[in-house]
Structure 1
Amino acid sequence: MKIINAVAAATLLLSLPTLATAMPAYARAYKQESGYMPSCNACHTDGGGSKLDSFGEEFKVAGKNMAAFGKIANKDSDGDGISNSAEMQAKSNPGDKKSTPKNPGNWLDIASLIPREVRHAFPGVLTWLPQDALLTKADIAAAKKMGVELSADDNNTIYIPLVDRRPAGTGLIFAANYQGKDFFLLMTTDKKLNISRVSVLHADKVPSAKGLKVYDQFVGQAVNKVSISAKAPLEQAVQLAVKRAGMLLYVRLRGA
């Protein structure tokens, strides 16, 4: 799997002009601390935007910044008997008990940067561009004018499949919340930012979120036109999450 650099991205993404730098911000911080670029699976169970693993949770609690690495360096987040700092130095995954310095596994393979569900949604695509979706104050203000409240907590990673060196759509993994419990959804769009799919990625805490008919209602909608019309609270939670995720895509990729 090939990941193109930021210079090539600037040329390719003619219709998506406002993307940030080419690798997720926390991955860049990890590289600064460890000397190498991790996959998103250091902090997430299945790529950027999915549920945080044990290391990701502790990194978040510690502040999600460079100082946080020092705060959790001597902890053993994944419970494999090896400290986080030792695992990072050995290029094993501090968030995966199965990955140890003696047997790090394939977590650093380039393919690991793209969650498998996102890859499966775009069969045959071999070239990907993972991009930060870091909201600026202008982005948040633009979203608010369109009726959607966003914040820095909505920062995410956008996965862009490239076909013939051009963007063919987007993939985004994001959280929805129901009765204080998070579950995770996957949304894909075409290159015009019309929704092609919304599906459940992880819903262990809210199993009733699986199989809802509401997911089919999003197909074909523009990401900035999602409405909240459901009467059932759980379906409303899904619609709200999709609306927020759609607006994140819109303000980041269309420069609203």
Structure 2
Amino acid sequence: MGLAGLLLLSSGPALAEPAFARQYKNQYGYMPSCNACHKDGGGTPVNRYGQQFKDAGLNAGAFNAIAELDADGDGARNGAEATARSNPGSDRSTPDAPGDWLDTSNLVPRAVRDLFPDVTTYKLVDAIFTDKEVTRAAERGVTLTAEDENTIYVPVDNRRPVGTAIIVAGQFEGQQFFVVLSTDRQLVITHVEAIDAGPLEAARDDDLYQSFPGQSVETLQIADDVTGLPRAAQQAVLRAATMLQVRLKP
């Protein structure tokens, strides 16, 4: 798929269907929001339900394994919440008051919306990697697996894509941080920043990312002479760029 293939879009948002969301749909009969397992949309840190699902095996059987638990601590068990179409990952959504967590307007993380303040419509593209895409990523020194499925957010104006955005996790000394990367229609990077650094506050330093805007996701390279957290930050950005390249550029 390329951005050219996204030119003719419906006026409303389209939904991605990553593998785990499809498993949820098979179990409970409807497509969930990414916020069932993530704190703020696909690619962001997992919430308590997402962690329980991960700990139980990330497979169809995991739903039954955690059905009697109460991930969000709101007094309703996970299985009961999911069956009632309320969010098992949020204490603001219960079987008696599910809220609007399934509304398509809530599917795009705030960090992405803030990068495209004039856009109200998004195309959500799943990043579920084929063997060919895994091989292409390896050629850039990036290791991708089936567990690396993600969501690519494509802002749309007048039925035309105006760019892309993706959120990826980085790792440093056993700690995780999250980076958002956006591009224009030509997949030239327009912005990079850490949006959730956890205990790694130093990962929020803008200086770690200032060299990336203006580079194409296809040709982006990371420096060989950096170490420590700067190296981890560059690797996270390369990972994000590679995910966009292998999914959106044939």
TM value normalised by structure 2: 0.90
Partner of 1:246: 241
Partner of 1:29: 23
Give the distance between the partners of 2:109 and 2:49, measured in 1 at CA.
18
Question: Does structure 2 retain, via aligned residues, the 8 Å contact 1:75–1:83?
Answer: yes
State the secondary structure of the residue aligned to 1:237: helix
- Please say if 1:79 is aligned against 2:73: yes
Superposed structure 1 runs of 4+ greater than 3 Å apart = 9-14
Specify which of 46, 50, 54 is matched with residue 44 of structure 2. 50
Cα deviation for residue 103 of structure 1 reads 2.4
Partner of 2:32: 38
Partner of 1:198: 192
- Please say if 1:181 is aligned against 2:181: no
After superposition, give the CA deviation of every residue in 1:214-237 in whole Å (9 maximum; x if it has no partner): 211110111132222262411110
State the secondary structure of the residue aligned to 1:121: coil
Give the distance between the partners of 2:59 and 2:143, measured in 1 at CA.
24
Give the distance between the partners of 1:91 and 1:85, measured in 2 at CA.
10
Cα deviation for residue 109 of structure 1 reads 1.7
Give the distance between the partners of 2:132 and 2:187, measured in 1 at CA.
20
- Please say if 1:161 is aligned against 2:155: yes
Give the distance between the partners of 2:4 and 2:212, measured in 1 at CA.
30
Partner of 1:130: 124
Partner of 1:6: none
Partner of 2:11: none
Partner of 1:109: 103
Give the distance between the partners of 1:109 and 1:200, measured in 2 at CA.
27
Question: Does structure 2 retain, via aligned residues, the 8 Å contact 1:49–1:174?
Answer: yes
Question: Does structure 2 retain, via aligned residues, the 8 Å contact 1:224–1:243?
Answer: no
Question: Does structure 1 retain, via aligned residues, the 8 Å contact 2:129–2:146?
Answer: yes
Specify which of 123, 135, 141 is matched with residue 141 of structure 1. 135
Letter in 1 for 2:40: D
Give the distance between the partners of 1:85 and 1:113, measured in 2 at CA.
22
Specify which of 176, 192, 209 is matched with residue 203 of structure 2. 209
Give the distance between the partners of 2:23 and 2:119, measured in 1 at CA.
28
Gaps of 5+ in 2: 9-14
Letter in 1 for 2:147: D
State the secondary structure of the residue aligned to 2:210: helix
After superposition, give the CA deviation of every residue in 1:153-204 in whole Å (9 maximum; x if it has no partner): 3221111111221221111011011111001111111111111111111112
Letter in 2 for 1:83: R
Give the distance between the partners of 2:6 and 2:194, measured in 1 at CA.
30
Cα deviation for residue 146 of structure 1 reads 3.2
Cα deviation for residue 105 of structure 1 reads 2.4
Question: Does structure 2 retain, via aligned residues, the 8 Å contact 1:92–1:99?
Answer: yes
Cα deviation for residue 129 of structure 1 reads 1.0
- Please say if 1:235 is aligned against 2:230: yes
Gaps of 5+ in 1: 1-8, 15-20
What RMSD, in angstroms, separates the aligned Cα atoms of the two structures?
1.9
Give the distance between the partners of 1:104 and 1:50, measured in 2 at CA.
22
Give the distance between the partners of 1:13 and 1:27, measured in 2 at CA.
25
Cα deviation for residue 132 of structure 1 reads 0.8
Letter in 1 for 2:186: K
Give the distance between the partners of 2:89 and 2:135, measured in 1 at CA.
35
Give the distance between the partners of 1:162 and 1:35, measured in 2 at CA.
29
Question: Does structure 1 retain, via aligned residues, the 8 Å contact 2:16–2:151?
Answer: no
Letter in 1 for 2:56: A
Give the distance between the partners of 1:251 and 1:130, measured in 2 at CA.
16
